[in-house]
Structure 1
């Protein structure tokens, strides 16, 4: 008897649920992606490569992927700290702050972009103090990073927070009893346990950042070769009725995102095996 059939389930049989799963994923995820790749394949690999290597397209792809990676990396550090504080400390207003973490999920992305532009513009609440120092955030690549950090923070916090809540405090106490410093306890006891969750949050924040559009276009400046993102360039191609070019850029983004996420998942699986989770 197979392992699947030995497990009890409140849902109908394995065959029915698996069939629904494949049908749902096929219709919602695989079919649209297959149509995208099929449409772009009419150009051939050489045609897709030629479009991807156009100076403006390459600059937009580089901007999207590099800034998404940078924002996800920033969120790993500061999002991890936020998750630690919300999980380990009791203080007035903690529940309010905990609820505020989910605001980027609830806000329309355009609203977030307008708000960030209003704050960090040269005449904004924060930008007006930075302008005399020669620091410009809005309408620069730095503004894109700020927007991607804003929308990516909840992915890190909500992924890491449950793991922190389940950490065994006895391990930390034993580490301190054996004479370990706080840094040693953090680096050798806590961080290895949090690494799989941090990698998962990083992957989610990166994936969201690469495809983000609404919150970025209001704060980026959208200058070709400087602060133009790939999703905006796809919109530009569609407005020019250049559907082949739009699908080619989208296919390149899809392929690059897939391989980056695959690498992150392989690292995550390795870290889980190293910790003995699987």
Structure 2
């Protein structure tokens, strides 16, 4: 008799599919169904309205800037946590997960307090003419704060598992530190970096609680798409809310699909080399 690798697979698989269906597929299906009740003309009128397009621009632009910042800073932070020992390392490592545990509304209030014109960070910045709170820059700060752990936590385990012999071999061949990082380490990190970037960007697109306090929420200027969806819900315009939300859903889905494709290509490249 052939022994099963996973005892009770039919039961565990059934529970998993039920959970995914209730928690993920059902809400997304309801969103798509509600948006689908609109005719194409009405749907296009809602999603292409001037206010909606402005919210897409603010949301996508801020998310892109926050993701690029997290790509650089998150990679550097993961590198420091893996390659160096210093006092307080465990504390810093724990703080990385703080955005996961902290309610986003609390994060938004804290960031607004810090970056307001009279805040600890905001006052020095205001003295040199930089305003953060109630500007698009504040949105970027909130997005970067909430999405940073995605890049750090996807890159960190890959860095820990890298074979030191690869770097030692490159050093023995006369490679500089930058050359070794660019030609040896970075290609191996590429799939993890792509996963972290896609997750960070998708999280920034859908962030709400941390942003609404620091953004100022001015239509056409600092209003994000998630807030516009919430406003339509408060107006009991559920079809319009579903239509606007479907744009975010489609954007995140396309982003994740493209990233998975690039990851697969990067993995094939590293396996061949």
Determine if the alignment matches structure 1 residue 68 to structure 2 residue 63: yes
1:93 matched to which residue of 2? Answer: 88
Q: Report deviation, 1:64.
A: 1.3
Q: Within 5 A, what are the aligned runs for 1:162-177?
A: 162-177=157-172
Q: Report deviation, 1:180.
A: 0.9
Q: Within 5 A, what are the aligned runs for 1:1-278?
A: 8-9=5-6, 11-13=7-9, 15-276=10-271
| Per-residue CA distance 1:148-202 (angstroms, 9 max, x = gap) | 1111111111111111011111111111110111111011000000111111111
Q: Report deviation, 1:6.
A: 6.9
Distance (Å, rounded) in 1 between the aligned partners of 2:170 and 2:187? 14
Q: Report deviation, 1:21.
A: 2.4
Unaligned runs of 5+ in 2: none
**TM-score, structure 2 as length reference:** 0.96
Between Structure 1 and Structure 2, how many residues are aligned?
Answer: 272
| Per-residue CA distance 1:76-107 (angstroms, 9 max, x = gap) | 11101100100111111111111111111111
Q: Report deviation, 1:16.
A: 3.0
Q: CA RMSD in A?
A: 1.5
Query: CA 1:130–1:162 in structure 2 vs 1: closer, same or farther (change >3 Å)?
Result: same
Unaligned runs of 5+ in 1: none
- Secondary structure (helix, strand or coil) at the match of 1:78 reads helix
Distance (Å, rounded) in 2 between the aligned partners of 1:147 and 1:179? 43
Distance (Å, rounded) in 2 between the aligned partners of 1:217 and 1:121? 14
Distance (Å, rounded) in 1 between the aligned partners of 2:201 and 2:3? 38
